[in-house]
Structure 1
Amino acid sequence: MEEPNIKYILKLSGNDESVRLKLINVLKYELPLEIEAYYATINQNQLQQAVFHVHKIKHKMAILGLENSYSSAEIYENQLSENRVELQSKFENTLTLMLNFVNSL
C-alpha cells in the first residue's frame, strides 16, 4: 500500500515554513470534517450525497501523494453515482491511513 507524504505540500510551500504550516493546518482541520460527513451520508445510505464528499476527499489524497488511491477514489465516486459500493472498504481503509498520517504531522 502506498504511504501518504508531504512532498507536494513542500513543493507548494517552497522554503516558506509559514505556508507549509498553513497547508498542514488546513488538512488537519478539513480532513476530519470531510471524513465525518462522508461516513454520515454512507451510514444513512445517501450515496448520491456521499459522491460529493468522496470528490472533496480524493483531492486531499492527491495532496498527500496517494496517486493510486486517488485513482481508486475516482472509480468509487463513479460507483456511488450508480448506487454501487464495491470499493467502499478500500476507500475507507485509505481514509484511516490519511487521518492517522495527518494527525501525526
Structure 2
Amino acid sequence: MQQPTLGRIVHYRGKQGRLAPRAAIVTGTIDSLDPSGIEAGDVPALDSPEHVHLWVFTPGTSGGFAEFNVPPGDGSDHTDSTVGTIPPGTWCWPPRV
C-alpha cells in the first residue's frame, strides 16, 4: 500500500457527496506534523497514517479550502478507487493515465 506523503496530489470528494471531483495537495501527514503544534491545539491530529490534511483546489475566485484529518476512500490499496466511487469526505489517488 502506498502511503500518502507531503506534497502529493490526490483527488478529493466533498463532504456533501456531489460528484464534483477536486484536486488536492497533501499538506499534512502523520510523519510531517509537529507534535508540539498538535499539543498546543494549533494543528489537528490525524487518526491514522492514511489520514491526511489537504488543501483542496476549487475553480473560481476562492481558490480553495483546507480539510483536516481526511480518511482514504474505499480500496485496500487505493489504486482501484476513483473520486466517483469513494464515500463523501474522502481522498483517493488519481487514476494512472
TM range (shorter): under 0.3
- What TM-score results when the alignment is normalised by the length of structure 2? 0.26
More helix by share: 1
- What TM-score results when the alignment is normalised by the length of structure 1? 0.25
More strand by share: 2
Structure (1 or 2) with the larger CA radius of gyration:
1
